């Protein structure tokens, strides 16, 4: 028939009928005919297999009551948020507004939350975190292993968080989570030109090892934790070394390092830190002073070597004197000694005798 409009709605579909732009009712599955010479009839067809219902006149349709037995309607106020699970799977998160889900072919579960409780906690946080729609409503933060997260909401400290994943509703408050690494950290303090008490300028390289023990204090006590610790070690170096003369400093660097650590440890506690160790790594002397010290060291070593030689000579002479005395006091021992000498000479295969003093030949002949 002329001007007749035919609409076919399948078993899993629903039709929304509009006349002159106004919602006029729901069309059930089947064939429908409309006489529409002025093209004022429009039918919007929706599949109920797609659980989420989207229509530009959803508010009008909801108010008509036609969806009461067909769909789950969410009407969220400004402070409300909702999570929707379809057939046991997380579907999406919603902020304030009007939403609807078909329930004929799906099991729809809605969880409603008050966003004024800014922190969001849920037993199945991981699948929610992986959902793109959820990220539009929630901010996610990770606190890594061996770290602590210091949480501030609207500029106020709230709590210190242990490692894990945390979520907060977007647009409700200003969230700031500062992560602190609780492991040991090494800080180099290099190139410090410091004058000793006897006016010798040294270049010192030091190192400090620390770890954070109070995450909140480490964030709030200073705007730059490492810079503050660097300054404290630097000042302690100048205080300790500046009161020492060069010789005493070089001969007692370990005690100087211990004094340095004591000073730094006190201040580090006020920054939320625990000092593991503070040490002096390098001491660089000026060129002229280095040459002088080398000369002193050479002279000292030469004197020590000379003293050792003299001691050895004295010991050798004392040993020879003791041997001579023993031989003079014991003729038999002297005779044995003479025989040992002749035996060694005879073992060489050549025996040359030079006669000089009268009677020497007779004595040698008698010995042989």
What is the pLDDT at residue 349?
Answer: 59
Note the pLDDT of residue 250. 77
Q: Write down the pLDDT at residue 332.
A: 74
The pLDDT, as a whole number, for residue 287 is 61
**Gap between the Cα atoms of 125 and 214, Å rounded:** 28
pLDDT of residue 71 exceeding 90, the answer is: yes
Residue of higher predicted confidence among 126 and 334: 126
Say if residue 193's pLDDT is above 70.
yes
48-59 confidence digits (pLDDT tens): 999 999 999 999
Model confidence at 260: pLDDT above 70: yes
pLDDT reported for residue 246: 78
Over range 197-220, report the average pLDDT. Answer: 89
- pLDDT at position 367: 53
Q: pLDDT tens digit string along 30-44?
A: 999 988 888 889 999
Q: Return the pLDDT at 198.
A: 78
Beta strands across the sheet bearing 119-120? 119-120, 164-169, 138-143
Q: Which residues contact 320 (CB under 8 A, 6 or more apart)?
A: none
What average pLDDT score do residues 182-210 get?
A: 86
Task: Please report the pLDDT score of residue 93 as a whole number.
Answer: 95
The pLDDT of residue 173: 93
Query: Is the pLDDT score of 245 beyond 60?
Result: yes
DSSP three-state, residue 347: helix
State the chain's mean pLDDT as an integer: 85
pLDDT of residue 363: 57
Which whole number is the average pLDDT over 188-202?
82
pLDDT category, 254, cuts 50, 70, 90? confident
Question: Long-range pairs for 105-108 at CB < 8 Å and ≥24 separation?
Answer: 105/12, 105/48, 105/49, 105/51, 106/51, 108/51, 108/72, 108/84
Q: Find the range with the poorest average confidence among 70-79, 129-138, 319-328.
A: 319-328
Q: Which residue has the higher pLDDT, 314 or 211?
A: 211
Q: pLDDT at position 279, please?
A: 85
Task: Based on DSSP, count helices (H) and strands (E) in the chain, helices before strands.
Answer: 10, 20
What is the model's pLDDT at position 328? 74
Higher pLDDT, 267 or 320: 267
- Highest-confidence segment of 188-192, 214-218, 320-324, 350-354: 214-218
Q: What pLDDT was estimated at residue 115?
A: 94
Residue 292 has pLDDT above 60, yes or no: no
Looking at residue 359, its pLDDT comes to 53
Mean pLDDT for 161-181 is 94
Report whether pLDDT(244) > 70. Answer: yes
Note the pLDDT tens digit of each residue in 312-368: 877 878 877 777 777 677 777 766 766 776 667 767 656 565 555 555 556 555 555
Two tokens, residue 257: 């390092």
| Phi, psi for residue 57 in degrees, rounded to 5 | -110, 35
The rounded distance, in Å, linking the Cα atoms of 59 and 64 is 9
How far, in Å, CA of 283 to CA of 200, rounded?
A: 12
pLDDT recorded at residue 364: 53
């Amino acid at each position: 028939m002329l001007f007749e409009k035919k609409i076919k709605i399948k078993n899993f579909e629903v039709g929304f009928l509009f006349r002159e732009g106004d919602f006029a009712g729901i069309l059930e599955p089947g064939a429908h005919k409309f006489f529409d010479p002025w093209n004022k009839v429009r039918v919007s067809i929706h599949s109920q297999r797609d659980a989420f219902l989207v229509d530009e006149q959803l508010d009008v349709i909801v108010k008509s009551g036609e969806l009461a037995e067909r769909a789950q309607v969410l009407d969220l106020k400004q402070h409300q948020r909702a999570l929707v699970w379809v057939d046991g799977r997380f579907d999406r998160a919603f902020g304030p507004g009007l939403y609807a889900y078909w329930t004929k072919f799906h099991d729809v579960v809605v969880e409603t939350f008050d966003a004024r409780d800014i922190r969001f906690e849920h037993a199945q946080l991981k699948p929610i975190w992986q959902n793109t729609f959820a990220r539009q409503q929630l901010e996610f933060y990770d606190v890594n292993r061996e770290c602590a997260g210091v949480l501030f909401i609207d500029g106020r400290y709230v709590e210190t968080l242990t490692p894990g994943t945390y979520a907060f509703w977007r647009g409700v408050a200003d969230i700031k989570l500062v992560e602190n690494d609780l492991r040991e950290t090494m800080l180099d303090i290099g190139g410090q030109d410091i004058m000793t008490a006897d006016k010798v300028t040294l270049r010192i390289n030091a190192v400090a090892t620390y770890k954070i023990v109070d995450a909140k204090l480490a964030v709030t006590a200073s705007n730059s934790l490492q810079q503050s610790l660097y300054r404290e070690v630097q000042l302690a170096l100048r205080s300790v070394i500046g009161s020492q003369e060069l010789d005493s400093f070089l001969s007692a660097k370990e005690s100087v390092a211990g004094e340095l650590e004591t000073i730094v440890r006190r201040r580090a506690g006020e920054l939320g830190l625990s000092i593991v160790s503070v040490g002096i790594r390098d001491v660089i002397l000026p060129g002229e002073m280095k040459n002088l010290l080398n000369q002193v060291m050479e002279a000292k070593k030469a004197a020590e070597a000379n003293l050792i030689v003299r001691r050895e000579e004295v010991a050798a002479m004392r040993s020879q004197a003791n041997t001579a005395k023993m031989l003079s006091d014991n003729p038999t021992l002297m005779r044995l000694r003479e025989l040992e000498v002749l035996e060694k000479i005879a073992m060489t295969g050549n025996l040359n005798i030079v006669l000089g003093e009268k009677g020497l030949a007779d004595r040698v002949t008698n010995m042989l």
